[in-house]
Amino acid sequence: MPKWFIFLFLSASLQAEDLPTFGLGYMVYYSTVIFTAKPLAEAKYVINTREGGYELRRFVVQNVIKQDSAALPDTIVIEVSNYEFEGAEFPEYIFYGRYDPPIYPHHPRVFYPVLSGIRPFRGNTAFVPYQHDNPGGYYFHAAPDYTLPEWVFQTRKTILRFDSLLTLRRIQPPTAQNKALFEWIDQHQVCWKPYTAIAYRHFDACDWGPYEFEVFQWINGNGIWQDVWKSIQLSGMLRGEYGAVLTRPENTPIAFSCTEGRAFLMERISKNLDPALAIQLLTDAMWGWDQYLQTDPPEAERYQSMQMVLPLLEVRETQHIVLYFVRAALFHPEFPWQDKDGISPLVALKKVYSSTTDEYFKSRLEGLIGEIERK
Where are the domains positioned within the chain?
3-160, 166-374
SS3 123: coil
- Contact between 134 and 17 under an 8 Å Cβ cutoff? The reply is yes
Helix axes 319-330, 299-309, angle to 10 degrees: 150
The DSSP annotation for 332-371 comes to: -TTS----BTTB-HHHHHHHHHHH---HHHHHHHHHHHHH
Q: What is the pLDDT of residue 145?
A: 82
- Residue 252, pLDDT score: 84
Give the lowest-confidence range in 97-111, 158-172, 221-235, 332-346: 97-111
Q: How far is the C-alpha of 126 from the C-alpha of 133, rounded, in Å?
A: 22
At 244, the pLDDT band (50, 70, 90 cuts) reads low
pLDDT band at 135 (very low <50, low <70, confident <90, very high): confident
How do beta strands 75-79 and 110-122 pair? Answer: parallel
User: How does residue 3 score in pLDDT terms, banded at 50, 70 and 90?
Assistant: very low
The reported pLDDT for the residue numbered 202 is 62
Longest CA–CA span in the chain (Å) reads 79
Instruction: Please state the separation of Cα 348 from the chain's center in Å.
Output: 35
CA distance 87 to 83: 12
* Side-chain half-sphere CA neighbours of 80 within 13 A: 23
pLDDT over 60 (residue 301): yes
The stretch 340-367 carries a mean pLDDT of 94
Mean pLDDT across the stretch 56-65? 93
* The pLDDT value given to residue 197: 42
Confidence of residue 55 (pLDDT cuts 50, 70, 90): confident
Has domain 3-160 been given CATH number 2.40.50? yes
Q: What percent of the chain has pLDDT over 70?
A: 88
**pLDDT for the residue 304:** 95
In the chain the first and final C-alpha atoms are separated, in Å, by 31
Question: Per the omega criterion (within 30 degrees of 0), is the bond before 174 cis?
Answer: no
Cis omega (within 30 of 0) for bond into 333: no
pLDDT > 50? residue 34 = yes
3-state secondary structure of 227: helix
pLDDT tens by residue, 248-280? 777 788 999 999 999 999 999 999 999 999 999
Q: Does the pLDDT of residue 298 top 80, yes or no? A: yes
3-state secondary structure of 101: coil
Residue from 133, 127, 169, 162 nearest 148 by CA: 127
Is the distance from CB of 158 to CB of 206 less than 8 angstroms?
A: no
pLDDT single digits (tens) 70-110: 789 999 999 998 888 766 679 999 999 999 888 777 778 88
In angstroms, rounded to a whole number, what is the distance separating the alpha carbons of residues 198 and 80? 20
Question: How does residue 52 score in pLDDT terms, banded at 50, 70 and 90?
Answer: low
Report pLDDT digits (tens) over 176-222: 999 999 999 999 988 876 544 444 456 777 888 899 889 999 999 99
Quote the pLDDT of residue 47.
60
